[in-house]
Structure 1
Amino acid sequence: MADLLPVERALSIVLDAAPILPFEQVQADDALGRWLQEEIHADHDYPEFDKSLMDGYAVVAADLQRDLRPLRVNQEIPAGIDPARLVAVVPGTAARIMTGAPIPPGADAVLIVEESEPVPGDPDVIRPKSGVSPGASLARRGADVRRGEVLLSPGEFVGPGEAGVLAACGRTRVTVGGLPRLSIIATGDELVEPGTAPAPGKIRNSNGPLLRALAGRAGARARYLGIAADEETALRRMMEDGLRDDVLVLSGGVSMGTRDLVGRALRALGVEIAFEKVAIKPGKPFTFGSRGATLVFGCPGNPVSTYVIFQVFARAALRRMMGSPTPSPAPVRGVLAAPVRQRPGRAGYYQARALWSGSTYEVRILPTSGSADFVSCARGNALAIVPSDVEALAAGEPVALLLLDDHDDR
């Protein structure tokens, strides 16, 4: 196993080779799922005026400290009204006010509607049922955000919450990291496309759709080039097309067989091969290289190997290219529900189900028939990582977990 590159070293080589793509200015709606590449400042105080936090009555708090005498309602203040139009509240009066509406001059608290009652026979008079303290149920101008405050920073992921912040700041366009263009080639004479009934000796190509889905989920613009036969001229022609993009991902043809032509074809096209074997299970015969700024991932043909190599290495590279400050998120810790054994020498990345118990992840490694067991990819939401020098872990022992993009959905 001396010639096998440790996973951590291989990942470091991949990330060092991955260029950060040029930034793009996009519509705010199109920034969702991308990494921000500029500071977002508040363009005004928020709230912009003293406002009510509840439906009720704007009052002078001291007016309710001496006694709970009736108060005459001098105006009704809906949300959205111009504060300049408001009448002052003075002792003995109150303003009926809605949530989010501006506080009128003179008022320094809001008596919530539940703590008031009408006075029979006079709809414009209310009787307080309790006193209030100054500042009750209102927010002062700038209590949440001050004008000029930095609300979002470069490197932050744009999710729904960030989209709301952009809208609140009036930002309809924003600078984000670029989206990688990624090409996919499945190799092998034995492959037919999913819509074709396999003839004897043939199998359906599951790796092409698998990689396209993984790339799309990771944020790349994926382009499927098709199945390449085990013939070097045709393979090189298809590779040359794929090398026009930022990333080329191939499945199959990277092992030691006489028809495993990927490494030789890549070298003929000027791809500089960084490594061809990694101490990982599954996925040992993994080829990585580059030509110019284009990254090349040669994944093993078995579906689980392809899946693991993409999740561990290609996803991290894509995140870096898009401007993520944490391209390879640190594993989290879980607790094994059942023992696991392996042959030392390669780090095991096992399909697993990780369920949050309230205090930790409970981890069940999924049964599998091997790296060709494509169904196992649909059952896990994490990869349980067993170090290369560990032969066995017992039930109840801690285990490292790489949570997958869709772990919350499974």
Structure 2
Amino acid sequence: MTPLLPLEDAQQRLISMARPLPSETLPIGDALGRYLAEDMIARRSQPAADMSAMDGYSICFEDRRGPWQIAGECKAGSPPCPPIKAGQAARIFTGALMPDGADTVVMQENISCDGDSIRLIGDPPPSKGHHVRHKGGDFEAGDITVQAGTYLNPPALAHGVMAGLGSLNTGQRPKVAILSTGDELVAPGTEALPHQIPASNDLMILSMLLQLPAITRSISRIKDNMDSLCEALESAADCDVIVTIGGASVGDHDLVAPAFERLGGQIDFWKIAMKPGKPLMAGRLGDSIVLALPGNPVSAFVTATLFLLPLVRHLAGARSPMPVMQVAKTRSLLPPTTQRAEWLRAKVDESGISVFDSQDSAKLSILSAANALLFRPPHSPEQPKGASVSYIAI
């Protein structure tokens, strides 16, 4: 019997099968959800000059106790007002450039006005530069503001705009085809007979991919027939990744591997030391990577989380494509594990993480109630309540 491939080895082998796709240049407003292909270099400093962080009066710190004569008014979006001298202050508003001669801002709440003369009624500024945003305090021209491989979320795009950029070099979106197989599958919303099952897996996997920069195609409800499966695989030959769901085991009606080999595909690995998700298969068919997921809903979800999503992130240019592991205290007694890594559906909150009593890989009710997959390494001893455990948020 061929030994099962360890989980981490399988993940690395899958990633090593693919190279990130070539980059493309996009207007910065179109780059949301992509991965940055090269470091974002600032073309300007922010702030570009010293400016006020508060509505008030700009003064020289050495003259911080006043009184002062108002020598001008500085507004945001305007050139700096004239320089101030000893005994003078300028009315200033948030975001306005500091005038020459001023280095500190006194809040307007601490000032009493009498015509053009003002005096201090509160505490003087505690330090030079108080309530001033200094030139380059956020970043300087030439700084790396966002690293290559970073997911471009709204704050990252705003950062790029502030850095003076109008376009970004990003990874391309991988093309992914989802093929769900099985004579028992019927379309969503269709009345299913006792021997039939609504096709939920392809919708689930497609929805997971919507969170990533991917171009998806669904080829759903393929019959358990060699010719039909081969035809579906061939129709997706232009895709970077072909994902099959179901039919990846070794039963008489599990035809994914035979169809894959009939078309000249090369299997890289098959069967992983993990639970759920043991029958996962990966290989190459022409220019496409084929990833065959198990048909049980939980198995499909877990293997997509651990294999498909990292593969798509890698192809799209992510610097760190693997799921982020977090740590929490378990509120459940965890029995020892065998030679297979286990991923347990769980609920995590500020008090810790609890696993569900049932881990049946066909129960979507538990998967939909979970917000975490608790990780149990192979050959782990029993873990008491209160032990630190690793998990992935879902």
Q: Do the two structures share a fold, i.e. TM-score over 0.5?
A: yes
Match of 2:207 in 1: 213
Match of 1:295 in 2: 289
Deviation, 1:391, is: 5.7
Match of 1:105 in 2: 100
| Counterpart-to-counterpart distance in 2, 1:105 and 1:8 | 60
Match of 2:329 in 1: 335
Deviation, 1:369, is: 5.6
Q: What letter corresponds to residue 13 of structure 1 in structure 2?
A: R
| Counterpart-to-counterpart distance in 2, 1:77 and 1:101 | 6
- Closer, same or farther in 2 for the Cα pair 1:278/1:140, shift >3 Å? closer
TM-score normalised by L of structure 2: 0.94
- 1:109-124 to structure 2, matched below 5 A, reads 109-119=104-114, 123-124=115-116
Provide the identity percentage: 32
| Counterpart-to-counterpart distance in 2, 1:59 and 1:383 | 57
- 1:42-191 to structure 2, matched below 5 A, reads 42-65=42-65, 68-69=66-67, 71-83=68-80, 86-119=81-114, 123-129=115-121, 130-132=123-125, 133-191=127-185
Quick one: which of 367, 374, 380 aligns to 1:377?
367
Residue 254 (structure 2) pairs with residue 254 (structure 1):
no
Residue 233 (structure 2) pairs with residue 239 (structure 1):
yes
Cα contact 1:344–1:391 (8 A) shared by 2: no
Quick one: which of 396, 400, 403 aligns to 2:386?
396
**Counterpart of 1:400 in 2: which secondary structure?**
strand
Cα contact 1:61–1:107 (8 A) shared by 2: yes
- 1:302-313 to structure 2, matched below 5 A, reads 302-313=296-307
Runs of 4+ with >4 A deviation: none
**Counterpart of 1:341 in 2: which secondary structure?**
coil
Residue 37 (structure 2) pairs with residue 37 (structure 1):
yes
Cα contact 1:304–1:376 (8 A) shared by 2: no
Deviation, 1:375, is: 1.9
TM-score normalised by L of structure 1: 0.90
Deviation, 1:356, is: 3.8
Deviation, 1:107, is: 2.1
Report how many residues are paired: 392
| Counterpart-to-counterpart distance in 2, 1:389 and 1:74 | 77
Higher mean C-alpha deviation, range 223-232 or range 339-348: 339-348
> Unpaired runs of 5+ in structure 1?
405-410
| Counterpart-to-counterpart distance in 2, 1:108 and 1:330 | 45
Deviation, 1:366, is: 1.9
- Closer, same or farther in 2 for the Cα pair 1:342/1:221, shift >3 Å? farther
Match of 1:408 in 2: none
Q: What letter corresponds to residue 163 of structure 2 in structure 1?
A: C
| Counterpart-to-counterpart distance in 1, 2:171 and 2:269 | 28
State the Cα RMSD in Å.
1.9
> Unpaired runs of 5+ in structure 2?
none
Cα contact 1:111–1:137 (8 A) shared by 2: yes
| Counterpart-to-counterpart distance in 2, 1:388 and 1:142 | 50
| Counterpart-to-counterpart distance in 1, 2:353 and 2:92 | 53
**Counterpart of 2:116 in 1: which secondary structure?**
strand
| Counterpart-to-counterpart distance in 1, 2:298 and 2:135 | 56
